[in-house]
Amino acid sequence: MPLADKLVSSFLAFELDINFQSPVHNIRTNAIKNFEKLGFPSKKLEDWKYTSLNKVLKEDYTLFSKKKNVLDFKNVKDFFLDNTESYKIVFVDGFYDPFLSQTSHDGIDICIMSAALTKSKYSSIIKKYFNTSIGKNESFSQLNTAFSKEGAYVHIPKNIILEKPIEIIHFATGNESALMLQPRNLIVIEESSQAEIIESHQSLTENPIFTNSVTEIFVAKNAHLDYYKLQNDRLSSSLIDNTYISQKRDSNAKIHTFSFGGKLTRNNLNYFQKGSYINSTMKGVTIIDDNQLVDHHTLVDHTRPNCESHQDYKGIFSGNSTGVFNGKIIVDKIAQKTNAFQQNNNILLNDKSTINSKPQLEIFADDVKCSHGCTIGQLDQDALFYLRARGIPKKEAEALLTYAFANNVLESVNIPGLKSRIKKIIANKLNVKLGFDL
């Protein structure tokens, strides 16, 4: 049975299993109807022109893992940050793992969606925010909404600056021969609060994993959010990551996406600016090879005056890999004095690798500064020669230049433990033993 049909037909069973009376029952039912109408996107759609899902969708995925698997911290320690105190929300095969997690209810809520969706004390927040930023025509997000049950729930009330970052990790143990996961996260940062979040998806075996994740983020007045997505999964895993960020005035939200692993990764990153003096930043580094595909789709909707957005995506492609960048900036009529910048730089290291880039601007206001730049090129041969003339072997010299190319994205990572981890991954990816601590 095709995956889409299988999903639709198992919806009833899914709802029976959990609470029918849940306040989100109607939302789920509508969402599955929408998904049934839309189906999975095909290459005929402009937004999926360069990304084919055929290979990913043809696997026979188990939709819900049957049993809870217990992981030993020793075995997965490497996937957590080194020497960094943090809150942790950990899921294993879609189930919450209380042993690996470290949550909090001490004035803040760092816990899980299944609790938020069922307990009455959270119902006002759920009512106010849940599923409010998702478009009707986005089939993956609709699908996720229909099956929304578990994920991270973070609510930071007014005037709190989180001392520790929050780590959200989704493990897949390979219990099932192929597994589909649909985590649903809700992050609400109230007025003048600050938080740092790191999200990653990690498969532990070679069994195919298909993750369709939705994260809704709400950043209130004067609040700050730093969100890091670390995508370094195995080559058997695919990820569709849908993120929606709604910002209120004077707020600042940054999203860093580091894509190194996975067979197919699609990032749909949507910013909605709902006030003045907002700053939105999205940065990304993509280093992939073999048959990997990473697709970044960003949307920034400037609806109010005096806001800024900055985008900076770097990509390095070797082997048979494919990179896609599609950035869209919309500036409404009344969004005067908007500053919007978009940059996408790419390096192709191999003749079999492909890059498709489409930086778009849609501007309806006249007093704005908007620009976008896109380049495709190679490592500078002169620089390479310079390094080699000084006794640095070719591979290391190339790695150094690659690192330098990606560095201005890395520079803005504020968590030292995360930065050193990413450096390690890059060195690993480029097959060199360098610390890059120059």
Partner 1 sequence: MAYTEEELKKELETKEYEYGFVTDIESDTFPIGLNEGIVEAISKKKEEPQWMTDWRLKAFKAWKEMKEPKWANVKYSKPDFQKISYYSAPKGKDKYNSLDEVDPELLKTFEKLGISINEQKKLAGVAVDIVMDSVSVATTFKETLSKKGILFCSISEAIKDHPDLVKKYIGSVVPQKDNFYATLNSAVFSDGSFCYIPKGVRCPMELSTYFRINQAGTGQFERTLVIADKDSYVSYLEGCTAPSRDENQLHAAVVELVALDGAEIKYSTVQNWFPGNKNGKGGVFNFVTKRGICHTNSKISWTQVETGSAITWKYPSCILKGDNSIGEFYSIAVTNNYQQADTGTKMIHLGKNTKSTIISKGISAGKSQNSYRGLVQINSRAENARNFSQCDSLLMGNKCGAHTFPYIEAKNKTAIVEHEASTSKIGEDQIFYCNQRGIDTEKAIALIVNGFSKEVLNNLPMEFAVEAQKLLEISLEGSVG
Task: State the DSSP code for 429.
Answer: H
**Which CB atom, from 348 or from 410, has the smaller least distance to partner 1?**
348
Whether the CA torsion 312, 262, 413, 305 is positive or negative: it is positive
DSSP 300-341: EEE-SSS-EEEEEEEEEE-TT-EEEEEEEEEE-TT-TT-EEE
Pairing of strands 369-377, 179-181: unpaired
Q: Which of 178, 349, 384, 404 is in the footprint of partner 1 by CB under 8 A?
A: 349
**Which CB atom, from 89 or from 293, has the smaller least distance to partner 1?**
293
Q: How far is the CB of 359 from partner 1 (least distance, A)?
A: 6
**Which CB atom, from 235 or from 349, has the smaller least distance to partner 1?**
349
Q: Which of 29, 42, 137, 350 is in the footprint of partner 1 by CB under 8 A?
A: 350
**Which CB atom, from 254 or from 296, has the smaller least distance to partner 1?**
296
Q: Is 303 in the site for partner 1 (CB under 8 A)?
A: no
Q: Is 382 in the site for partner 1 (CB under 8 A)?
A: no
Q: How far is the CB of 68 from partner 1 (least distance, A)?
A: 45
Pairing of strands 152-156, 109-112: antiparallel
Q: How far is the CB of 365 from partner 1 (least distance, A)?
A: 5
Q: Which of 194, 279, 336, 339 is in the footprint of partner 1 by CB under 8 A?
A: 336
**Which CB atom, from 174 or from 327, has the smaller least distance to partner 1?**
327
For residue 332, give the amino acid letter: D
- Provide φ and ψ at 321, rounded to 5°: -75, 160
Q: Which of 57, 370, 384, 427 is in the footprint of partner 1 by CB under 8 A?
A: 370
CA distances in angstroms from 426 to 149, 412, 421, listed in the order given: 34, 16, 9
Q: Which of 364, 385, 395, 428 is in the footprint of partner 1 by CB under 8 A?
A: 364
For residues 224 and 222, give the distance between their C-alpha atoms in angstroms, rounded to a whole number.
7
**Which CB atom, from 221 or from 328, has the smaller least distance to partner 1?**
328
Task: State the DSSP code for 79.
Answer: G
CB contact burial 270-289 (16+ within 10 A = b; e otherwise): bbbbbbebbbbbbbbbbbbb
Q: How far is the CB of 271 from partner 1 (least distance, A)?
A: 18
Size of residue set near partner 1 by CB under 8 A: 36
**Which CB atom, from 371 or from 431, has the smaller least distance to partner 1?**
371
Among 434, 423, 413, CA closest to 284: 413
Q: How far is CA 156 from the centre of its chain?
A: 20
**Which CB atom, from 101 or from 318, has the smaller least distance to partner 1?**
318
DSSP 249-261: TT-EEEEEEEE--
Q: Which of 113, 368, 410, 430 is in the footprint of partner 1 by CB under 8 A?
A: 368
Q: How far is the CB of 363 from partner 1 (least distance, A)?
A: 5
Among 300, 104, 76, CA closest to 170: 76
Binding-site string for partner 1 from residue 39 to residue 78, where x marks contact by CB under 8 A and - marks none? -------x--------------------------------
Q: Which of 355, 409, 418, 422 is in the footprint of partner 1 by CB under 8 A?
A: 355
For residues 248 and 85, give the distance between their C-alpha atoms in angstroms, rounded to a whole number.
29
Q: Which of 357, 396, 403, 429 is in the footprint of partner 1 by CB under 8 A?
A: 357
Query: Which residues of the chain form contacts with partner 1 (CB under 8 A)?
Result: 46, 333-334, 336, 346, 348-378
